[in-house]
Amino acid sequence: MELEEFLRHWDVSREELAFICDCSLTTVNHWFSQGIDKRIPSEKHKQRLALAHHIWTAIQTEPEYLQKLRDVYHQKQRRNPHK
């Protein structure tokens, strides 16, 4: 997924982009630079943007049942942290 398309869908900071793309903040800052310092996201970065977009879109559209199921799972994890 192209960076510009991702940013049309999601309001994220540069720090969050670095986390999503598993790269440094410096790398992300180069994506927004002008001139000779400008870089473009690699295919790996674009794949990670696409994955985040897919997951976040799925979360937004998942039925209430799945949201509750997720809550049950997280509560169970807290009660049995060693299992």
User: No. of H helices and E strands in the chain?
Assistant: 5, 0
Regarding pTM above 0.95, the answer is no
Write down the mean pLDDT value for the chain: 92
Cα end-to-end distance, the chain, whole Å:
37
pLDDT of residue 41: 97
CA 59 – CA 46 distance, rounded (Å):
20
List pLDDT tens digits, range 16-68.
Answer: 999 999 999 999 999 999 999 899 999 999 999 999 999 999 988 889 998 89
pLDDT of residue 2: 98
List pLDDT tens digits, range 68-78.
Answer: 998 898 888 76
pLDDT of residue 81: 57
Q: 52, 11 in Cβ contact below 8 A?
A: no
